[in-house]
Amino acid sequence: MGRKVHPAGFRLGVIRDWQARWYADKHYLEFLQEDLKLRQAIQSKYNEAGISQVEIDRQANKIAITIRTSRPGIVIGRGGQRVDEMRQHLENLIGKRVQLNILEIQQPELDAYLVAKAIAEQIERRISYRRAMKQAIFRTIQAGAKGIRISCSGRLGGAEIARRQTMHQGQVPLHTLRADIDYGFAEARTTLGRIGVKAWIYKGDILPEPKVTAEVEEVTEEAKAAEEVKVTEKPKAAEEAKAIEKAEAVEEAKAVEEAKVARKPSAAKAKAGESKGEEPPTIEEERDATTQAGEVPQEP
């Protein structure tokens, strides 16, 4: 009992980054109080703007504040008028230069704080907590989440005894460090007391990027160079093979012509012998004649 860890703090340095990025030795207490004042001032002034996260980054004598909101139009105002007013208010509050950056949340259904706040607002308007929780689960799953868990605790439905009601769908692996789990908490202030709403949303795993060493890069460069050499050598080899085939074909044609020329005198002699009454030469005599002429004897 009671050994529960904040999902964001549990993953700091693994897949999560700090919401306040600065370091201080002597002025730590002063900077921490300034951060708390800035966050409270922003949340109080833009209570209906759907602000989910406020990131603070200190650079020398300037403070850069990034506000993540689902309704940037309310924060910015017409022509950036409200942003200028808010910047002036924050500078007067802490006495330092402030730079405001506004970022829009593309899918509010996947932000745990906004989901919990929407349920708390519905409970304040006397809507059934079961209906509010079921609708939030349905919208979040439809938006692409892999799992969600919502817990409401307090005097639910105006009961005399406080209790806790939990609903979930999909998977929410709280012990997996690489699991991208967003956590949000909001309170509904009703006439019978406060009702706390917690939301956990599992969006998937964030896998570490593979580290590419210098050796692997060298190997890939060598492989690329070898492939380029092969690609350039292939046309040359094909041209050489074609030239060899052409030379062989020319030589064969010449040999055939020479054989035809050598056969013509023997045929003329045979015809002359027949006319004179001589016997035609035998196959063996023809072979001897062809071998003497330097030809390869052919079988009849």
Q: Is the same domain home to 131 and 182? A: yes
Q: Identify residue 244 by its one-letter amino acid code.
A: I
- Distances in Å between the Cα of 149 and the Cα atoms of 11, 90, 152, 197, 205 are 18, 36, 10, 11, 17
Q: For residue 214, is it within any domain?
A: no
The CATH code of the domain that includes 148 is 3.30.1140.32
Chosen domain end from 205, 221, 244: 205
Q: Is the same domain home to 77 and 25? A: yes
The CATH code of the domain that includes 43 is 3.30.300.20
Q: For residue 22, is it within any domain?
A: yes
Q: Is the same domain home to 87 and 142? A: no
Q: For residue 224, is it within any domain?
A: no
pTM, to two decimals: 0.68
Chosen domain end from 87, 106, 125: 106
Q: Is the same domain home to 46 and 69? A: yes
Show the low-confidence residues of the chain (pLDDT under 70).
Answer: 1-2, 211-220, 222, 229-237, 263-300
pLDDT recorded at residue 300: 44
Q: Is the same domain home to 12 and 100? A: yes
Q: Is the same domain home to 83 and 154? A: no
Q: Is the same domain home to 194 and 160? A: yes
pLDDT recorded at residue 259: 78
Q: Is the same domain home to 76 and 133? A: no
Q: For residue 70, is it within any domain?
A: yes
Q: Is the same domain home to 116 and 201? A: yes
* Pairing state between β 147-154 and 97-104: unpaired
Q: For residue 121, is it within any domain?
A: yes
87: containing domain: 7-106
How far is the C-alpha of 115 from the C-alpha of 202, rounded, in Å? 13
Q: For residue 272, is it within any domain?
A: no
Chosen domain end from 205, 239, 256: 205
Closest CA to 196 of 161, 150, 158: 150
**Domains: count for the chain:** 2
Q: Is the same domain home to 158 and 113? A: yes
Q: For residue 285, is it within any domain?
A: no
How far is the C-alpha of 38 from the C-alpha of 98, rounded, in Å? 10
Q: Is the same domain home to 49 and 120? A: no
Q: For residue 79, is it within any domain?
A: yes
Non-local CB neighbours of 52 within 8 Å, separated by 6+ positions = 68, 69, 70, 105, 111, 113, 114, 184
Q: Is the same domain home to 98 and 21? A: yes
